[in-house]
Amino acid sequence: MRQRKMVFGVISLSLMLSVMLVVTPAARPSTPTGNTTWSLSPDHDQDDRGSQNRYDVCKQNHRPRKCPTVSTGGVAATVTFDVPGAALTWAFGINNADAIVGYYQDATAGAAYHGFIHQGTSYTTGFTTVDVPGSILTYAQGINDLGDIVGIYEDAAGTTHGFLHHGTDYTQGYLTINVPGAECCISPNGIANDGTIAGTYGGKGHIRGFRHAGTDLTTGYSTIDYASATVTSTDTVANAIDRSGGVAGYYFDQFGKRHGFVLRSGTFSTVDAPGTLVPAPMAGTTQVYGTNSLGVVVGYYLDSGFQYDAFQAQGTTFKVVTVGTGNIVFAYGINENGDVVGEVYNSATAKYHGFAIIAATGTAAAGTATRPTGRGDDDDENHHRDNDNDNNEHGEAGGH
């Protein structure tokens, strides 16, 4: 359940029930399947014997071909984009192929929301709508390197559910995610290559994070609640999971302040934008949305001029993420290559656009160290879980 800024019109999923629009359902081919298990298995989906094997796995499982599907060749680029015909566009997750997921508001009188996946190197084409059959609203929020997508949808009765999509036919292949004990606002936000899902739900007056492991979507859930010796957390929002199983998001402390966090090996670390950033952040406004296994996180904060600013950080090194001049930027997803996606608000036109910042090959994820491409090409030195000695066992995921 990703919380988003209401003041600038970004939808707050922690307040989902109060802001979702009632829109006319578009024609859908069918309703979501009643199955509660999916096909991830060591025999078919785990890609731990080399990039060529991962390519073969993706083809035989009818995933977006190749896995990763596209490569920019390491050429640095910053682009803004809109789903063709959309009134507004938001980008939330990116995998190592630079396949991007998000959602858009269409230009019809009903102003309906639809998920999308973008693949390819042209940002005027390559978009495919991702709508759960029978839904009146769909958001695609996270994607892994196998092309599996997680997000949320609202059914015809106005009830919100999570979903997992498996395959390349976006008219079918959706599984519903309903977290046991949730009272509202279920929102799967990220998925790792081993199928582990991280997200958020509402229950007993609080927002709680969750992690799901396994292929049976009726069981296998555990709760993520921020905890430390000095902070009492009232709500926890889990937004992303990376290839090493690290979860990132933010929490509300006992004073209602927001702080980013990363959870690795059972230990929480707080992420707060430092006062040395320009523009300077207001205390208690940091929100983390994406992470990768290199320890890089992205998110945003509210500055002293009451404007939101995106940031990228690794350890104690922070930098502000900008797109163009005079725009308000929110960073939501990052992959192993350091490529970042999010939304940019153009105050002159009062429109939201998606953006992608594709890092150059050999540049640091946080601007400080040389790294391999991680793009899954056959000569990729990173191997992305393909090396038998790789300690990262889970696979990278987007965040949304």
Residue-wise pLDDT for 341-356, tens only, equals 999 999 888 999 999 9
pTM of the full structure: 0.77
Edge-first strand listing for the sheet containing 328-334: 77-81, 351-358, 340-346, 328-334
Angle 235-237-238 (CA atoms, 0-180°, nearest 5)?
140
User: For the chain, how far is it from start to end, CA to CA, in angstroms?
Assistant: 9
Q: Please name each of the domains of the chain with its CATH number.
A: 13-358 (2.120.10.30)
Evaluate if residue 43 carries a pLDDT over 80: no
User: Cβ–Cβ contacts within 10 Å for residue 288, how many?
Assistant: 31
> Which of the pair, 85 or 19, is modelled with greater confidence?
85
User: Is the pLDDT reported for residue 189 higher than 90?
Assistant: yes
Between 394 and 1, the more confident residue is 1
User: d(Cα 286, Cα 392) in Å, to the nearest integer?
Assistant: 27
Q: Is the per-residue pLDDT at 310 higher than 70?
A: yes
3-state secondary structure of 56: helix
Greater confidence (126 vs 382) lies with: 126
pLDDT at residue 154, as a whole number: 96
Task: Decide if pLDDT at 53 tops 50.
Answer: no
State percent of the chain over pLDDT 90: 65
Query: How many angstroms separate the Cα of 101 from the Cα of each of 95, 146, 222?
Result: 9, 13, 25
Residue 35: predicted pLDDT = 54
CA distances to 25, 33, 226 from 155, in Å: 9, 13, 31
What mean pLDDT, rounded, does the chain reach?
Answer: 78
Tell me the pLDDT tens digit for each residue of 371-393. 333 333 333 333 332 333 333 33
Is the pLDDT at 190 greater than 70, yes or no? yes
Cα–Cα nearest to 146, from 185, 82, 195: 195
1 pLDDT band, cuts 50/70/90, is very low
